[in-house]
Each structure stands twice: as C-alpha cells, then as structure tokens.
Amino acid sequence: MIEIEPGSVQQPGGGGDEPRQQPRQRSWWLRPAMHTALIGAVLGYVLGHWLGNYFASGYQQIASADSSDFPIVLGYGFAVIGWLAGLGVFNDLILQMLGKPVAANTNHLGGGLGKYFRYSLDHKVVGIQYLVAMVGYFLTGGLFAMLIRAELLSPSYHLLTASAYLEVVSEHGTMMMMMMTSVVMGPLGNYLVPLMIGSKRVAFPRVEALSFWLTPCSFIILLSSVLMGGFPTGWTGYAPLSIQAGAGMDGYAFAFGLMGISATLAAFNIVVTIICYRAPGMRWSRLPMFVWSMLTTGFLLILAAPVLIGGMYMILTDRTAQTGFFVNQVGGSSYLYEDLFWFFGHPEVYILALPGFGIVSEIIPVFCRKPLFGYKTAAAGMLGVAILSFFVWQHHLFDSGMDPDMRPLFMLTTELISIPTGFIYLVAMGTFWKAKIRLTVPMLFALGMYVNFLFGGVSGVFLSDVPVDTTSHGSFMVLAHFHYTIMGGLIFAFMAGIYYWLPKMMGIRLNEKLGKWHFWTMFIFFNSTFMPLFVLGELGMPRRVFEYARNLETLNDWVSISAFCLGASMLIFLFNFVMSTLFWRERETGNPWRARGLEWQVSSPPPPDNFAHIPVVLAGPYEYGDPNALPVADLNPPAGVISGALAGAGEA
Amino acid sequence: MTAETAPDQEPNHGARLLSMWLLLSASCDPLFWFLAGPHIPPGRMSSSAATQQTDFNVLAMIAIPVVIGVLLYFGYALTYWRAKDGDDTDGPPIHGNAKIQVTWMAVTTALVLFLAAFGTVELWTQQGAGAGEGPSPIWKPDSSNILEVQVIGQQWAWTFRYPQFGGFETTALVLPEGQPIQFDVTSLDVIHSFWAYQLGVKADANPGVNNVAYTTAKQLGQVTVRCSELCGLWHGAMYDYGKVVTATAFQSWARQSEVQLASITRMLPPFALTYDPTNVPVLNEVLIKLGLTSAGGGYYNSNDLEQP
C-alpha cells in the first residue's frame, strides 16, 4: 500500500510534524542499549550452556564424546535471545501481548551518538549502524587476510602452525562472505531505498532493526570460535570434515546460519518496501538502477539464504543430536551438503555482484552528465543475472563426481549468465559515449569496478569450461577470480557508494585528496595482489595450503607485499573516514554532485521523516542533458494531487 | 591529439575505435597463441592436459579481444570525453540505441553458445577431459586395454591400488606411457580432491563414492599429486609424486611390486571400489569384547532395530 497521508507517521507511534509526546527519559544506563544487550548475551550463554549440559548428560553418546557440542550450541542460541532481550527487542511485543499501550519508539531521536547503540526503528539510523559495523567487519576480515599473506611469504610454514593457518583462512573467508551478503543492502540499501522511492519509512522497521542487531551476535560468535580452536573447513564448511571438526565448528555453523536469518529479514523488508512503498509516479520504468539491484538482490536472498540456514541447521544437528544427514555410513550424503551449500552459494555470488552493478550504474550517469544508456537493458541484465543464478550452482561440483551428463548443461547455464552481465557493460559503455566525464572519487571507484570486474568475469568464463576448469578448479585461479568479482567488483562499488552517498547520509564530505590517494593505491595494489594469483593457480597452487612449491616463492612474495600495501591503502580510507566524519566535518548540506536522484532533492542529512509530504515523481532519475526533462519530483504536491495520482496508478 | 577539435570536425569515434580494436586484437591474439599458448599449464604431458591447454588457448582467443575492447573503450572515453575545467554543461541526452543493443546481444549470445558447444564437444571427444565423472562415466576411452588405478585419499596421504595386479597398494604412483588410464578415486574419511597436475586430472575423492577419471599419458616424466579440496589440518602438506614410465618398465615394476607386496596385500581389505573404514569386523569384535563400545565401532549399535 502506498502511504497517502502527507502528515503520516514515520514510525509506528511516532508523530509527523506534531510535537511528540515523549515519556520522561531514564538515565542512559538504565535504558536498553548495547551494554544491556551484552549483559543479556552473557547471561543467556551461561544459562544455555548450563541447560545444554543438563539435558545432554543423560545421553551416553554425547557425554562420552571428546567435546560436547550441545551445550555450546544451546549457549549460542540463548545468548542471541539474551542479546535481543537486553536490547529491548521484545519489550513492545510483550506489552502488546499483555494488552498494555505501547509507547512510541523514540530511540532514533536525539542529537548524540547514543541512538546508534540502541534498537532504533529509523531506517536512517539502521543504515548508519550497518555502515559502521560492516566497515568494522570488513577490516577485521582484512586483518586475517594480512596474516594469511604473511604466512605465505615462505613456501613452508614459518609463522603460524598448520592449525592456526587454517583457523585464519577459515575466519577470513567466512567473515568476508558473511559481511558481503549485507555490505550494500545493509548500509546503502536500508538508508537510501526509501529516499529513492519517495517513502517516509520502510515496510517493516522492526524486522529491519532486528536484521542489523543479529549481525553483531553473528560476528562475535564467529570470532569466538577461535577461542575453541577455530574451524578447519574454510567458508564452505564441507561435510564430513565439518562433522568431524572440533568445537569451534559450532560457531561457524551457528554464526553463518544466523547471518542467513539476518540477510533474509533485511531482504524481505527491502523487497516489500520497494514493491509497496513507492511514491505516486515512481513507475517501474523510473526506478533508479540501485533500487532495481536491491530488488533483485532481495529476491535472491529470500530464495537462497533459507537454504543456507537449513544446511547450517543440519550441520548443527549432525554435530549435536547425532543425526546423519551428511554421514555416508548411515545413509547420509556429503553431496547433499555440497548441493545445499552451493544452491545458496552461487546465488550468493550474484548477491555480491548485483548491488555493485546497481551502485555503479547509479553513479556513472551523474558524472557523465548523460542519461543511462539502455535503461531497460540494464534492468533486464539484472533480472537475467538474478534468474539464471539459480541454475548454475553445480559448476562448483564439476570434478566432484556429479552426474556427468549434467556438466554440459551447467557449463551452458554458467556461460549464459555472461550475456546479462554483458548488458551491464554495454550500458556503461553507451553512457560513456560522448559524455562529459568528471573524474570525481566515486567515478574513479566506479571505473575501477568496471575494469576489475571485467577480469573477474572473463576468468569466470574460463572456469565455466569443464576442460579448462579441471586444472583451475580449487586452485588459486579460482581464488583470484572471485576476489576480482567480490573485492574488485563489490568493494570498489561499495567504496564508490560511500564516497558518493556519505554527503547524503551524514551531511559530511570525505576528503577528496585522500579519497584519490585511497583509490589509486587500492586500485594498483589490488591488481598487483590478485593478478599474479591467476598465474599461481595455473602453476599448480591449490587453495588453503600453507605449503607450496618452492619455484612459486617469488610470485607469492610479490603477492604478499602487494597485499600489505593494499592493507595500508585501507588505512588511508579508515583515516579519511574517521577524520572526515568525526574531526574535520566538512559540511555538505545540498546536492554536491548536482544529481537528479530523488534522494538528493531533500536536505542532507534528510529530515527525520525524509519528506515533508509524499512527493509525486514526475520523471526518471537519469534525464541529464535533456532540456525538456521535468524535474524528478514535485516535493510539495498540491492537495488532492496524490489521490488523483493514485487513481491513475493502476497502469504504472 | 587532445580533444581540441571543434564540434564540427568531430572525428568518427566509432570507426577509430573499431580500427584500433581490430589492430590490437589481430596482433595480440596471434602473439598469445604462438608465444604463450604452448606454455600454458598444465602442458601436454597427457591427452587430458593437452585438451585443457587447447581449450584455454581457444578461450583466450575470444577473451583477449573482449578485454582489449572494453579497456580500450574506457581509455578512449577518458581521453576524449573528459569535461574541461569549468564546463558545467551536460552531455547529449542519448537514451539508447536499438541497433547497437540488439547487435551486442546477438554477438554475445552467439559467442556464448559457441563456447558451450565447443566445451561439450571437447568433453565428449576427450573422455571427460580428465575431470572426475562420477561412478558411472558416460565418456570412456575407446580401448579394451585400460589400466585401472585406484586412488585412495585419507587424512592426509594418497595411496594407490592396482587391481589388475592383485590389488597391491603403494604410495608411489607409477603410470605407463601410451596406455589409457582409469583412475577410480575414493576417500576413507572426508572429501579430498586428487589433482595430478601435469596429467591434467582432477577428481574429488568422496567417502563411499567411486569417482572415475580418464587420461592417457603421452610423455615420460614426474607427476605432482596434490590435494585440492580442503581436508583438514595437514591439507597443505598432502602431496605426493608420481612418474610416467615406458609401458615395458611399468609392466616389470607392477609385476615386481605385486610379488614383493603380496604378504601386505593379504592383510588389506579386499579390493573394492569404496571402503568403509568405520566397519572393521575384526577390530569391532575386539572392541565389543573389551567393553569399549556397544555399537560395534559403527555409528549405531548393530542390534538397534531403528538403524537406517
């Protein structure tokens, strides 16, 4: 349903422009926030662990096992519930169940930083929470990568033990994959989609806030598994290795499953918001490309992430309740896990690509000062990628002993997906044609994304060909390929998005000079880190090894040193981000890029209710250079216009 | 050469780009094919390795023009279509070009369909191109004289059994030149992946599953065997070496090993396509007798009616 009341509420219970009835606030330490959540989580873990031991002690099989997984998993479960209870997530629900009046959630109000540590229902607060958290997870995962490269300086193990190396590799992979599912949808999607579609709110603010507050749990649990010896399976968690592994494995399965829940919730909210909360006149043909990418990503997550949740749940029951889903000897199958995992895992890869496509397609028209070339082609490309991504997962199993006549089929579908991906390039190249290009920092990152993703995509075609894949499969070639698409594609696009939208989100501009330094160091060292990995893989270096052939040492040292420089480039970004947002605070209130996007038509940062009135969208967001183009929206539509627009909205 | 040309003398950008692209592609493709092509891993030591090298080079012939085309285009755009300082005007409002879009779609579709057909033909005619084909392979070498070699992965070592020579087991992989080889790959514990690098053979070793891959060695030399699927603690150290010898040298080595290892072979489980290491009948009896387990060493108690 489209919200039609101009003075309507942004939050359940929150008022529009009227003065709010605020209850007297208690002192900050008595109000639910992150510190009470932490207390709740610790208490929950202790309770769950005790309960687990209490239940499990009755079972000989579990009591006699070398490590008891049941109390650990139950501890994690109760810790999450305790964390949410401590945040006050359940307060309103309990009040409602008891039939008591529910006060308005005012957690997003106030000027201080306190609101970012509370369970806030404002999509703009959630967006900022996500942004800071995701950057934090990314840098943590990056530190693990630095450790991996330090170990690979020498062809035999010298810095880490074999088990510590595997722990580090697995933590790096899982942490990165977990954060990448939400790295764009969380911060930019939650923050910008309502602004871009002319809505005052998202569809399900509580679901959205819950999706964010599950991520800290998930990452803390994943990190804490290091304390229990980590897990040796990498991010794929293949059974039966994951059934055999020590107690740290529970952290992996629980955290990854929890992140799956978080991503599903986030996606659900975004998809419903996009479908139901578009302002009058925001037709499908006027939807910004970024919103298209969020819509397709959302559908992928809703359909794929539950499979991950199921797979992780089965690992946990295999490990705790002694089920045998993945144990061959009792009728289970390790292929079941591989199929479940990659049925999630391959759409996941496109969950990581589509938001990047969306961001760069959104940015290039602004800095080319031209309309997006082939709007429908771009949208069709995203839809095509999204649909096809469900039909390619078995290319991860080409050598696994799958049904051999399935291989040509999956080779075909995998290669077909390069057609809609090619549309994204066609659109970019068409937009650049005779453009007026401005090389701002966001534009540089967008260009970097197109260049990097080109190598990632083309190497993907090599991997889709079964004969070529036979040598490349499971080697550093694959590793280079997906780092080119994820780090070179998604993270470059994410950086473009941060530099482009931070003036909108925080009213603050990141330092341009440092931004250019950041781009050039990141671009050069990214390529000098990952380009040699293609060669290393083809020369016979498998993934996730701490020992490699001595003749590969020079190349590996080159890669490691480049990787350290890449890490230093991230420090430039961190420095710029912290200094610009906290200390320099170069104000930017208007529309610094002269962009037509609807989100730029309100002040920066946007007022609490986004729009004083629901706008009426009059034209598409990319009509640059067209003297006859209408302004993108009427922000103060005359009374009665909205109901008229709604009456005619049937054909939209 | 900068963009100082007046708008009325606007050069024909399309023709320029096209000629530059044709020139670069036409020179880079042969350079790659003749200079780099013969050295592309995994070389031509076996039939499957040769297939993989050929396929790589054919794909490169298409990939190089694609990469050149996109990079050249962006480079050209940045050279000629940068806004000058102080120029706040917009570009021309071009919303699309049906002809270009349709051409692009047709060309990419044709390329992709060609690649898929080419890959399928290469799989079909080259007996699966060295990749694991599962327990019931559909593409086999056309020969009655196939050497069977069983590859057993376990944490963290490879062993090889030769069923046609009494099923003796060895850690030294020795293969004949010129005879089609059938690898029966299986695992005793977790998933491994048998990667005979120079032979261009890769097949996952799954517990309880036989995964078949074919190749024919064409040259003598050393073969590196690595595990290419993460299998736990010492995955990084799970490698082995093998060698390809002449057919006669192989025959004498195999017959000699069969005799030498006969006493050990008798103690091994009889040759089978898969093994269940949790089910060791002799050990189970001992364990039950000692009261160490009631489940016979297996996952479930063997007397349990509800066992699957």
Position B303 pLDDT exceeds 80: no
Question: Looking at CA atoms only, how far is residue B188 from chain A in angstroms?
Answer: 11
Instruction: Report how many Cβ contacts below 8 Å link chain A to chain B.
Output: 303
d(Cα A422, Cα A427) in Å, to the nearest integer? 9
Question: Looking at CA atoms only, how far is residue B125 from chain A in angstroms?
Answer: 11
Q: In chain B, which residues have their Cβ closer than 8 Å to the Cβ of A373?
A: 94-97
Kindly give the pairing relationship between strand B192-196 and strand B180-187: unpaired
**Which of B94, B122, B215 best probes binding to A when mutated, by most A CB atoms within 10 angstroms?**
B94
Q: Which of B70, B126, B307 sits opposite A425 (nearest CB)?
A: B70
3-state class of B216 per DSSP? strand
B272 inside domain: no
Query: Which spans in A88-199 are helix H?
Result: 91-97, 123-151, 162-182, 190-197
Which of A433, A203, A185, A172 is closest to A290 using CA atoms?
Answer: A185
Give, in words, the CATH class of A120-584.
mainly alpha
Q: State percent of chain A over pLDDT 70.
A: 92
Question: Which band of pLDDT confidence, cut at 50, 70 and 90, is reported for residue B291?
Answer: low
Q: In chain A, which residues have their Cβ closer than 8 Å to the Cβ of B135?
A: 401
Q: In chain A, which residues have their Cβ closer than 8 Å to the Cβ of B119?
A: 408, 411, 415, 464-467
Question: Which band of pLDDT confidence, cut at 50, 70 and 90, is reported for residue B308?
Answer: very low
Q: Give tens-digit pLDDT for A239-253.
A: 889 988 888 999 999
Residues B230, B187, single domain; the answer is yes
Yes or no, beta carbons of B230 and A162 under 8 Å apart: no
Q: Which of residues 260-299 of B touch A (CB under 8 A)?
A: 276, 278-279, 298-299
Mean pLDDT over B249-278 rounds to 90
Average pLDDT, chain B: 88
B307 inside domain: no
- Look at residue B53 in the predicted model and tell me its pLDDT: 94
Q: In chain A, which residues have their Cβ closer than 8 Å to the Cβ of B233?
A: 162-163, 166, 232
Kindly provide the ipTM of the predicted complex, given to two decimals: 0.90
Q: Give tens-digit pLDDT for A323-369.
A: 889 988 778 899 999 999 999 999 998 999 999 999 999 999 999 99
DSSP run (H or E) holding A447: helix A441-464
- In degrees and rounded to multiples of 5, residue A482 shows phi and psi of -80, -20
- Look at residue A522 in the predicted model and tell me its pLDDT: 96
What secondary structure letter does DSSP report for A189? Answer: I
B206 inside domain: yes
- Look at residue A113 in the predicted model and tell me its pLDDT: 81
Question: Looking at CA atoms only, how far is residue B288 from chain A in angstroms?
Answer: 16
d(Cα B197, Cα A160) in Å, to the nearest integer? 27
B305 inside domain: no
Q: Give tens-digit pLDDT for A419-466.
A: 999 999 999 999 999 999 999 999 999 999 999 999 999 999 999 999
Yes or no, beta carbons of A416 and B112 under 8 Å apart: yes
Q: Give tens-digit pLDDT for A12-59.
A: 444 444 444 555 667 777 788 899 999 999 999 999 999 988 887 766
Q: In chain A, which residues have their Cβ closer than 8 Å to the Cβ of B298?
A: 329
B28 exposure class (CB count in 10 Å sphere: 0-12, 13-18, 19+): middle
- Look at residue A111 in the predicted model and tell me its pLDDT: 67
B227 inside domain: yes
B22 inside domain: yes
Yes or no, beta carbons of B119 and A245 under 8 Å apart: no
Q: Which of B104, B135, B228 sits opposite A542 (nearest CB)?
A: B228
What secondary structure letter does DSSP report for B229? Answer: S
Q: Which residues pair with B196 in a beta bridge?
A: B201, B225
- Look at residue A588 in the predicted model and tell me its pLDDT: 81
Q: Which of residues 178-207 of B touch A (CB under 8 A)?
A: 185, 189-191, 193, 195, 197, 200-204, 206-207
Contacts 24+ apart (CB under 8 A), A585-591: A585/A508, A586/A508, A586/A509, A586/A511, A587/A507, A587/A508, A587/A509, A588/A503, A588/A507, A588/A508, A588/A509, A589/A507
Position A548 pLDDT exceeds 60: yes
Residue whose pair of structure tokens reads 């992140």 in the numeric block: A259
Q: Give tens-digit pLDDT for A552-561.
A: 999 999 999 9
Yes or no, beta carbons of B41 and A162 under 8 Å apart: no
Yes or no, beta carbons of A432 and B73 under 8 Å apart: yes
Nearest-CA residue of chain B relative to A397?
B204
**Which of A163, A172, A366, A399 best probes binding to B when mutated, by most B CB atoms within 10 angstroms?**
A399
Residues B247, B156, single domain; the answer is yes
Q: Does B28 touch chain A (CB under 8 A)?
A: no
- Look at residue A328 in the predicted model and tell me its pLDDT: 82
CA dihedral sign, ordered B11, B12, B17, B19: negative
Q: Give tens-digit pLDDT for A588-633.
A: 888 899 999 999 999 888 988 899 889 999 999 999 988 888 888 8
Could you tell me the residue ranges of all domains in chain A?
29-102, 120-584
Yes or no, beta carbons of A546 and B55 under 8 Å apart: no
Residues B170, B114, single domain; the answer is no
Q: In chain A, which residues have their Cβ closer than 8 Å to the Cβ of B301?
A: none
Yes or no, beta carbons of B131 and A465 under 8 Å apart: no
Report whether the peptide linkage leading into residue A83 is cis, meaning its omega lies within 30 degrees of zero: no
- Look at residue B3 in the predicted model and tell me its pLDDT: 46
Residue B184 structural domain = 147-267
Q: Which of residues 138-167 of B touch A (CB under 8 A)?
A: 138-139
Tokens, residue B68: 């050149």
3-state class of B194 per DSSP? strand
- Look at residue A589 in the predicted model and tell me its pLDDT: 80
Q: Which residues pair with B160 in a beta bridge?
A: B151, B170
Yes or no, beta carbons of B202 and A474 under 8 Å apart: yes
Count the neighbouring beta carbons within 10 Å of the beta carbon of residue A84.
Answer: 20
> For chain B, how many residues are written?
308
Yes or no, beta carbons of B129 and A236 under 8 Å apart: no
Nearest-CA residue of chain A relative to B189?
A240
Position B178 pLDDT exceeds 80: yes
Q: Which of B74, B93, B100 sits opposite A624 (nearest CB)?
A: B93
Yes or no, beta carbons of B229 and A238 under 8 Å apart: yes
- In degrees and rounded to multiples of 5, residue B241 shows phi and psi of -125, 150
B160 inside domain: yes
Yes or no, beta carbons of A454 and B41 under 8 Å apart: no
Position A646 pLDDT exceeds 70: no
Report whether the peptide linkage leading into residue B277 is cis, meaning its omega lies within 30 degrees of zero: no
d(Cα B235, Cα B255) in Å, to the nearest integer? 32
Nearest-CA residue of chain A relative to B302?
A330
Q: How many structural domains are present in chain B? A: 2
Yes or no, beta carbons of A426 and B55 under 8 Å apart: no
Mean pLDDT over A95-113 rounds to 81
Q: Give tens-digit pLDDT for B79-131.
A: 999 998 888 888 899 899 999 999 999 999 999 999 999 999 998 888 888 99
Position A483 pLDDT exceeds 90: yes
pTM: 0.91
Yes or no, beta carbons of B197 and A403 under 8 Å apart: no
Position B242 pLDDT exceeds 90: yes
Tokens, residue A266: 């986030």
